[in-house]
Amino acid sequence: MSTTDYDPLMIERGRLLFARPIVFVKGCVSLADLPPMDRVEIAFAGRSNVGKSSLINALCGTSGLARTSNTPGRTQELNIFESQSENLRLVDMPGYGYARAPEPKVKAWTQLVHRYLTGRATLRRVYLLIDSRHGPKDNDLSVMNELDRAAVSYQLVLTKIDKPSARDLEAVVSRTMAVIAKRPAAHPGLILTSSEKGTGLDQLRTEIALLLED
Ligand SMILES: Nc1nc2c(ncn2[C@@H]2O[C@H](COP(=O)(O)OP(=O)(O)OP(=O)(O)O)[C@@H](O)[C@H]2O)c(=O)[nH]1
Ligand SMILES: [Mg+2]
């Protein structure tokens, strides 16, 4: 699916949603720190270094909004961003699958991510980011299992599509589509993105605008 498949009004609505200020509110190290469940929440989850924080920055058009890094394990809290004019909250999550951080820390993040993803009533959609060079890995499949079990709506997003060759990308896309097909809570479409080149951002903005309409 490309943006040509959407209602042009919704594309415009998506652009406007992200053209208005979106600000950092707080970082949460536990569920008790989270703001009240008074907004539509959209979470960005995925393995360490997959490009979650970069995608949030690219969507909002603000390079330093969410902190990014070459080193996996950059985001260590649930970082909350809110639109100043709309009923929207974005959640940048710590990555999973990073084995080099101290074990108690990894355990704490994993537990926080798990609890948030499966126990937050206002969580409207999880964007589960997958590196387009690798496709879904075992720990991505585990997260999908949890989301399916908890009936939390999620959609897969391939990141960094500026990196692989067209041929390799095509192979990863078909492999990923096959994974989605069997999943009850997964959105049937796959979004292909590059935060670096700006690919797929309008599509994602439109999808998020559609979620706010529901
Ligand atoms: N080429 C390319 N590099 C990207 C893209 N998106 C992110 N990166 C790079 O990937 C690295 C990790 O990006 P982050 O956005 O910090 O990743 P993250 O998923 O938030 O990582 P953690 O917070 O550690 O879980 C950085 O060096 C980014 O510059 C992209 O679309 N293309
Ligand atoms: Mg991050």
The residue written with tokens 């809110």 in the block is 82
Is residue 3 within 8 A of residue 202, CB to CB? The reply is yes
Cα of 64 from ligand 1 centre, angstroms: 13
Q: Tokens in use for 40? A: 């539509």
**Which ligand is located closest to the Cα atom of residue 55?**
1
**Which ligand is located closest to the Cα atom of residue 71?**
1
Terminus-to-terminus CA distance in the chain, angstroms? 20
Instruction: Output phi, psi for 124, to 5 deg.
Output: -85, -35
Cα 142-144-146 angle, rounded to 5 deg: 70
Cα of 123 from ligand 1 centre, angstroms: 23
Check if 189 has its Cβ closer than 6 Å to any atom of ligand 1.
no
- pLDDT at position 99 is 66
Check if 77 has its Cβ closer than 6 Å to any atom of ligand 1.
no
Counting from 1 in the atom list of ligand 1, the atom nearest the Cα of 47 is 25
Which parts of the chain have pLDDT scores under 70?
Answer: 1-3, 99
Check if 54 has its Cβ closer than 6 Å to any atom of ligand 1.
yes
Residue nearest to atom 2 of ligand 1 (CA): 160
Counting from 1 in the atom list of ligand 1, the atom nearest the Cα of 56 is 15
The residues pairing with 131 across neighbouring beta strands, listed in sequence order, are 159
ipTM of the complex: 0.99
Is residue 194 within 8 A of residue 133, CB to CB? The reply is no
Which letter does DSSP use for residue 33 in this model? G
Cα–Cα distance for residue pair 66/94, rounded to 1 Å: 12
- pLDDT at position 40 is 97
CATH topology of domain 3-213: Rossmann fold (3.40.50)
Q: Tokens in use for 162? A: 């500026």
Burial of 70 per CB tally in 10 Å (0-12, 13-18, 19+): exposed
Check if 51 has its Cβ closer than 6 Å to any atom of ligand 1.
yes
Model confidence pLDDT, tens digit, residues 88-112: 999 999 988 876 777 887 788 888 9
The residues pairing with 159 across neighbouring beta strands, listed in sequence order, are 131
Q: Cβ neighbours of residue 74 under 8 Å, at least 6 residues apart?
A: 48, 49, 53, 67, 68
Counting from 1 in the atom list of ligand 1, the atom nearest the Cα of 70 is 27
Cα of 95 from ligand 2 centre, angstroms: 7
Cα–Cα distance for residue pair 87/96, rounded to 1 Å: 28
**Helix, strand, or coil (residue 59):** helix
**Helix, strand, or coil (residue 128):** strand
Residue nearest to atom 23 of ligand 1 (CA): 75
- pLDDT at position 64 is 86
Query: Ligand 1, from 57, 68, 143: best to mutate by most atoms within 8 Å of Cβ?
Result: 68
Is residue 52 within 8 A of residue 45, CB to CB? The reply is yes
**Helix, strand, or coil (residue 156):** strand
Check if 50 has its Cβ closer than 6 Å to any atom of ligand 1.
yes
**Which ligand is located closest to the Cα atom of residue 45?**
1
Instruction: Indicate the pTM of the whole model.
Output: 0.96
**Helix, strand, or coil (residue 192):** strand
Of residues 47, 40, 44, the one with CA closest to residue 60: 44
Do you know the residue count of the chain? Answer: 214
- pLDDT at position 17 is 96
Q: In the chain, what are the domain boundaries?
A: 3-213
- pLDDT at position 59 is 97
